[in-house]
Structure 1
Amino acid sequence: MTGSKRDGPAGPGALRLVESTPADDVAAGRGPAPAAAATTAAATATTPAATATTATTPAATATTPAATATTPAATATTATTPAATATTPAATTSDRSDDDAPLTRQERKLRTRNALLDAALDQLESRSFGAISLREVSRAAGITPTAFYRHFESMEELGLVLVDESFASLREMMRAGRAEAQAPGDDIRASAATLVRHVGTHQSHYRFIARERSGGIASLRAAIAREIQSFSNELADDLRRYPVLEDLDQPSLELVAGLIVTVMVATAERLLDAPPGAEDAIRHNTVNQMRLIVLGSLRWNRD
């Protein structure tokens, strides 16, 4: 904040003391007799002392700028007002949030449930599912361990939900990609590209599946195996609609689909530990592997 300049006090030159000497008065015929003039001179001689006292006035006056100098500091205090005013928007935001409709009990429950699932995935980045505890997951989600049971019966149930989530979104994406394909080659390329993208955006889920597919919790292993088999069965049904594969019977189509899904699972695991920039090479290799499976199936003779 720029303060206006203020004029300083007058200096010693502004305080002039007009003095007349006795000699001047006598010469002009105005002065007293010589004896009286001596007395006058003696009295007059005290005047410089008085004048000296008067000369201290600038020093006293000089303190005025110092006092005035404190004014910017006071002004600086006033400058804190915008900071105080700056808190007003936050208060306004709070007022707006208060005006919003409160979450329903079901919405709050869903939010807490999702927080538990996310907390578990965070814990699973470096550990197996059997190594994390209900207490750790609850604390990370911001709830008490007893509140956990309002959302899941056990940690095992939470793990099964994670398995379902891990495959559900991939299954939907694969369906959408295959629906647009017109030939097995298009289907293969679309499936490989979809898989690479999905692993990139859902690494926590895939890391969980890759670790628990051969982990120590039997229920999770079984659930993952069922999801992979379901994925394979759905792919076999899609392969049947291609004329080039119409001579294959159902068991043969299921065999082909199973091999393709096995390649996809291996691809996902490679992507998890691949260095940056390796995705294109992995995707290309996956496409070639799946094409080789389809081409080999054309020469397949069960007898």
Structure 2
Amino acid sequence: MTEQAATRNERKERTRQALLEGTLALASDRGFAALSLREIARSAGIVPTAFYRHFESLEDLGATLVDDGVTALRLALREVRRNPDAGLTETVRFVFDQVGPKRDLFGFLTRERHGGSAVLRRAIATELQLIVRELVADLSRVRALDEWSPRDLEIAADLLVSTVTDGIAAYISASSREAQHIIDRTVQQVRLISLGMGAWSPPKPR
């Protein structure tokens, strides 16, 4: 690659990142569904027609933000699970470590998960379901849960993921003084769920 081509690619990547960051800033006030392509382009200092050099549509831009957040988190969690010594507490704290530097992005995901664009709601739900499925696979390898059915494991995984995502939502809007309390509370909630799972026996089929 020539130096000129490399510089052109760098400029393109900077503009692309500016579009993503501008969208996060604008969406924090009104939500993604209320944004126009024109104002997003203006936030990055480009004309509207130049937007299409970076994204096929507004939905494509929104899906990229979902990928940057949930998908990156899912892949990071996969790395954590490769460490046999990583327990639930370490995993939950690791999640918040990932969220902390990207509060704007995860604030966007939290808001869009429950309102706004139907396309983004579906994309976020799909990614969260993938996290649930991977957690089900982890739980299925726990000897104490050998008698649990796939449905029981999925319910437990969904409860764990929902607890952590609710914690993230609270963490994002919390003050710096409250943030650590929310992390500690989420860890405690996950511990209690884990204890309950260990004490619960699934009903035997009739």
TM-score (norm: length of structure 2): 0.88
Q: Report what 1:28 is aligned to.
A: none
Kept in 1, the 8 Å contact 2:171–2:183? The answer is no
Q: Structure 2 CA distance, aligned partners of 1:266 and 1:300?
A: 27
Shift of 1:173: 2.2
Instruction: Name the CA distance, whole Å, in 2 between partners of 1:218 and 1:273.
Output: 23
* 1:110 alignment partner in structure 2: 13
1:242 CA displacement? 2.5
Q: Is the CA contact (8 Å cut-off) linking 1:199 and 1:268 kept in structure 2?
A: yes
Partner of residue 178 from structure 1, selected from 71, 78, 81: 81
Q: How far apart in 2 are the matches of 1:122 and 1:295?
A: 41
Matches within 5 A, 1:61-210: 101-104=3-6, 105-182=8-85, 186-210=86-110
- Distance in 2, matches of 1:278 and 1:176, equals 29
In 2: Cα distance, 1:190 partner to 1:177 partner: 9
Amino acid at match of 1:276: S
Equivalent residues, number: 201
Alignment match, 1:211: 111
1:205 partner letter: L
Which of these residues, 180, 186, 192, is aligned with residue 292 of structure 1?
A: 192
Write the deviation string for residues 174-203 of structure 1: whole angstroms up to 9, x where unpaired: 222222243xxx521112111221221111
Displacement, 1:223? 0.8
Distance of 2:87 and 2:5 partners within structure 1: 43
Supply the distance in 1 between the matched residues of 2:65 and 2:120 (Cα, whole angstroms): 9
Q: TM-score, normalised by structure 1?
A: 0.62
Between Structure 1 and Structure 2, whose CA radius of gyration is higher? 1
Give the drift of 1:127.
Answer: 2.3
2:53 is paired with a residue of what secondary structure?
Answer: coil
Inter-partner Cα distance in structure 1 for 2:5 and 2:30: 34
Q: Taking CA–CA contacts closer than 8 Å with sequence separation of 6 or more, which of the two structures ends up with the larger relative contact order?
A: 2
Residue aligned with 1:265, SS: helix
Is the 2:107–2:169 contact (alpha carbons within 8 Å) kept by the matching residues of 1?
Answer: yes
How far residue 157 of structure 1 moved from its aligned partner, in angstroms, is: 1.5
Deviations, residues 4-47 of structure 1 (Å, cap 9, x unaligned): xxxxxxxxxxxxxxxxxxxxxxxxxxxxxxxxxxxxxxxxxxxx
Contact 2:71 2:127 in 1 (8 A): no
- 1:173·1:194 contact (CA, 8 Å) conserved in 2? no
Q: Is the 8 A contact 2:89 2:191 kept in 1?
A: no
Q: Which secondary structure does the structure 2 equivalent of 1:102 belong to? A: helix
Tell me how far apart the structure 1 counterparts of residues 50 and 44 of structure 2 sit (CA, whole Å): 11
In the TM superposition, residue 103 of structure 1 has moved relative to its aligned partner by 4.0
Task: Give the AA of the match of 1:279.
Answer: A
State the one-letter code of the partner of 2:142.
Y
Paired-residue identity, %: 39
- Asked if the contact 1:178/1:190 (under 8 Å) is kept, the reply is no
Kindly report which structure 2 residues correspond to 1:202-241, keeping only aligned pairs within 5 A, or say none: 202-241=102-141
**Larger helix fraction of residues:** 2
